[in-house]
Structure 1
Amino acid sequence: MQTIPEIVLIIFTAVTSIGVLIQAFVMIGLYLAAKKTTDEFRELSGQLKQHIIPTLSTTRNLLEDISPKIKVATSNLVEASGILRSQVEHVNKTVGQVVDTAQAQVTRVDQAATAVLDGITQATAAVQQGIATPLKQVSGVLNGLRVGFEVFRGKERPTHVEGDGSNFV
């Protein structure tokens, strides 16, 4: 076998050394970038702590202050709801009573009106009966007298007598 000349070994060693150096620079660059990012993160974290901690504290104080007020408001709403419910029930009962009373009064007025109208109808029928029957009788008597006077005067009775009472109601 042939021995690799020394120059090739030197070149190989030089290329390998350059590759290792490049790799070392890349690693140093990554380290510096990571360190810079970490420093920025720490700075951002500090700024967040400065703003978030007071905000959280204010929020906690606000919640502690509002919590009893919310409880009172809730209990007031529950109480108002109960009062409103009882008032609505009372109004419903009252309206029901008024409607029942009004219906009873309407029934009474209807019965009274019906009784008055029935009385008027009966009175009208009685008046018609009381006037129409004697009127027919008087008309018949008058017709009889007229026919009698005509016969007495010597006239003969016509075949058709006007006003013989058949036209009266």
Structure 2
Amino acid sequence: MTKQKRPIYKQRIPDEDNNISEDKVILRPVVGISGSIAFIVGSIIGTGIFLSPTGVLDGVSGSVGWSLVVWVLCALIAVCGAYCYIELGTIFKKSGGDFTFMDEVYGPMVGYVRVWIMFFMGGPTWSAVQCLVVALYITTPVVGDCIETPYLSVRLLAVCVLSKYVHPLFH
């Protein structure tokens, strides 16, 4: 069994006058380029690819060509958003993601509120949507085309998926 590197370490960081002050505890950058690409692709594609094609086709009156145009435009918007995060990541060298960006630009209160909104609203909502999509795709082959997918069975299976999804986070 290999010993894992500890993600936290101490580093001597110079202050504004280039004087070495005390040691500061910072996070070691352990996510490489392949891990970053996998994270972004997983975040963008996720389970939405299984849910949104129907809505896109309904929005363009069933035209496959126009739905592909919409998908390409949305992909360009997502790429622009990724480029913005890349730029922010190269400007602000500190770890912390969105909190660091908001803290540096707008102040600590806005960063704090952003983190708590994502913690209590963004993350749980997205997890619930993902679990509902997975549950719907699990129950649809069992029920088949003869009847509509039972509402309560999908919700119950989504709760089971969510409990398996969230459970490893608390170990």
Greater share of residues in strand: 2
TM-score (norm. length: structure 1): 0.22
TM-score (norm. length: structure 2): 0.22
- Structure whose alpha-carbon radius of gyration is higher: 1
